[in-house]
Amino acid sequence: MDDYALVLNAGSSSLKFCVYCRPGEDAWRLEARGQIDGIGTAPRLSAKDEAGGSLADEKLDASVKDGRAALDVLTAWLRARYGGARVLGVGHRVVHGGAQYTGPCVVTPKVLDDLRALIPLAPLHQPYNLAAIEALSARLPDVPQVACFDTSFHRGQPAVAELVPLPKAIRDTGVQRYGFHGLSYEYIASVLPEVAPDVADGRVIAAHLGSGASLCALKGGRAWTARSASPRSTDSAWHPAGVGGPGSSSTSSRPWGAPPPRWKRCSTSSRGCSGSRASATTCATCSTARTRRPASR
């Protein structure tokens, strides 16, 4: 009997998947890849084989309104196509592993608890990644599941690359630059020696462009520094209210599934908070000390 492995990338509106097969003692090869997109609006299942031939392209019922329903559809499709196959493991893309998880790991209840505590640091992605793990655990309780983190590739950067210009008391809670899209950059670094051998070992800037975008400076195939951006992060006058890092009480005590932290705009100008006198004052909105310079005379 051939061995199979499943890889999932679960998001808020799509569920991407790959199926890998290992016939006998041969090497692993891609068997199928596809996605269920439009979850909650116009769900559709599409899949192709290794050569790019279509395996499925069908509109799904409107009842596929969330990730769990999409996973039910995918499970039924896989069973119909690979019924009786021996699944050795399931790999998951997980956006945030914090400072603790520096590489892929087998998911345990302790690991899940740790990853739930990081939801406030990636509220648009982390809940959906973890929901897929939990759903698969219920369906395949004896099959190991492995979490692969977007942040892992960026661990080991120089300390200055991870530093954020915030007070030490905040940084001590775990707030830092973690870097994202690391699985994408790890792949780029792995194929650079083949497609661009002359520059692969040097300094390379790689870009991940999509609804979320980032840049990563590579040096010798390793992450040297990274910067990311999203529509929410383009306004520097927005400040997090009550958000710490993974070790802070505001993060670790937040129940899984709770709404993400609220963001508040400081009061007096579009450029952020300012005090009301020439001396140092405290902004009532963000509780941050600011100094307003006297007007020129």
142 assigned to active site: no
Listed in sequence order, the DSSP H helices in 30-125 are 67-82, 109-116
Which of 150, 172, 201, 235 is flagged as catalytic?
150
Residues acting as catalytic residues: 150
